[in-house]
Structure 1
């Protein structure tokens, strides 16, 4: 099945995207739960500046720069909940546009994993833009993030 076909319908609340991985949930989650690795796979993340010593405990943060080209914003992401190797919930802040809740779920599937990213805006001016088009763009961005994550975790063994 084509990767794009796995992208969930963005007409529902929030944006959802999922992909199969050849690796087991523990291998996927090792990268997802590493605060220093987010700039390696999350589209728009330019660099991670610092990770709290308490990471990955709920309430801990990693501090990052996001942006495109020369335009960057320094902000932080809070870990809201974690259930290794199945789920991590993050509160992402990108000021001045607002805050969102991102849930990354990892489930066993055919000897590998199915990884789902769900992103919902929770506050800020970006809520005004929370339209079908905005959710579609977010879903496509998250699908690309999943492809990057899969290249890191699976290497050349990724299911096609």
Structure 2
């Protein structure tokens, strides 16, 4: 897995609240352009966010599926992007204190064309992309009003 991490000055619960809102997916996932639908129960295992990936008019209509979930700790997703393939994304939240959390984001191609690209070629681009993704998660967790649970 290609992995990045970020330490965020807030509780894991606030970060997970961002991840648990399927409608916010396009706000934090770099490349997601539009959310078409979110399955009831997101982020329960097997639920999906239906989204567009890429710029108009070249976008791809696809989905992201929850593989594993532990509230306030783990969200593992299979993200589909048409012929580009499927990536497995694992977001792990590690509380450092009551007010600080380390987020780890791991990414691995599991199907499609991306699987055949050399990791050395993918790694620099994905590290930058995924670091920006974590920066967006932090912004949402720190500055957005979150709904009551």
TM over 0.5: yes
**Residue in structure 1 matched with residue 19 of structure 2 by the alignment:** 32
Which of the numbers 82, 99, 109 marks the counterpart of 2:69?
82
How many residue pairs get matched? 142
CA-to-aligned-CA distance 1:49-99 (integer Å, 9 cap, x gap): 100113221111110001035421100010011001000000111111111
Which of the numbers 121, 128, 133 marks the counterpart of 1:140?
128
Instruction: Work out the CA distance in 2 between the residues paired with 1:103 and 1:150.
Output: 16
* Structure 1 gap ranges (5+): 1-13, 156-160
**Residue in structure 2 matched with residue 6 of structure 1 by the alignment:** none
What secondary structure, in the 3-state scheme, does the structure 2 residue paired with 1:118 have? strand
**Residue in structure 1 matched with residue 146 of structure 2 by the alignment:** none
CA-to-aligned-CA distance 1:1-26 (integer Å, 9 cap, x gap): xxxxxxxxxxxxx2111111111000
**Residue in structure 1 matched with residue 32 of structure 2 by the alignment:** 45
CA-to-aligned-CA distance 1:124-154 (integer Å, 9 cap, x gap): 1211113212122111100001111111112
Instruction: Work out the CA distance in 2 between the residues paired with 1:151 and 1:130.
Output: 32
CA, structure 1 residues 154+54, in 2 after alignment: closer, same or farther (shift >3 Å)?
closer
**Residue in structure 2 matched with residue 65 of structure 1 by the alignment:** 52
**Residue in structure 2 matched with residue 23 of structure 1 by the alignment:** 10
Cα RMSD, aligned residues only: 1.2
* Structure 2 gap ranges (5+): 144-149
**Residue in structure 2 matched with residue 151 of structure 1 by the alignment:** 139
My pick for the range that moved more, 21-30 or 52-61, is: 52-61
Instruction: Work out the CA distance in 1 between the residues paired with 2:136 and 2:71.
Output: 21
Structure 1 residue 112: Cα displacement: 1.1
**TM-score normalized by the length of structure 2:** 0.90
